[in-house]
Amino acid sequence: MERRAFLSSALASAAGIAITPRMAHAAEQSELENIIFTDSDPGHWKGKETTHVPVVEIKDGLMTVTTPHPMSEAHFIVSHSVVLAGGKLLGRKTFTWKDSPVSKHTLPAGYKGKVIVTSTCNQHDWWVRKLSV
């Protein structure tokens, strides 16, 4: 009977260990609710995704980031940032209301990995697109 109790306890512990990272991720996501926005999680800005989530095109190692947002003195895209795996900042471009919200970034030669692209709006906060190259 002791053996069964030990096995049952071991299985329960293993299940707890497997679930803990997921619970931590869920807690982290809820802490960032209505702070960081994506196309699948626009939070309280639902309906604003199409003009705020950055659009990314990559050709021959050149990444072009565009935010399809109208620009006016009262309401405009403030910046784009591109961050590679490991938190390495590839580049940041700031805009005035007179600029077109388009930035270009050269990926390191042969880069393969995660990329996080942000677009910041002066009225509708911080929007993120995650992708893998």
3-state secondary structure the chain: CHHHHHHHHHHHHHHHHHHHHHHHHHHHHHHCCCCEECCCCCHHHCCCHHHHCCEEEEECCEEEEECCCCCCCCCCEEEEEEEEHHHEEEEEEECCCCCCCEEEEECCCCCCCEEEEEEEECCCEEEEEEEEC
89-98 pLDDT per residue, tens: 999 999 999 9
Over pLDDT 70: what percentage of the chain? 77
With cut-offs at 50, 70 and 90, classify the pLDDT of residue 30: low
32-90 pLDDT per residue, tens: 787 899 999 999 999 999 999 999 999 999 999 999 999 999 999 999 999 999 999 99
CATH class in words for 37-132? mainly beta
pTM, 2 dp: 0.76
pLDDT attached to residue 46: 95
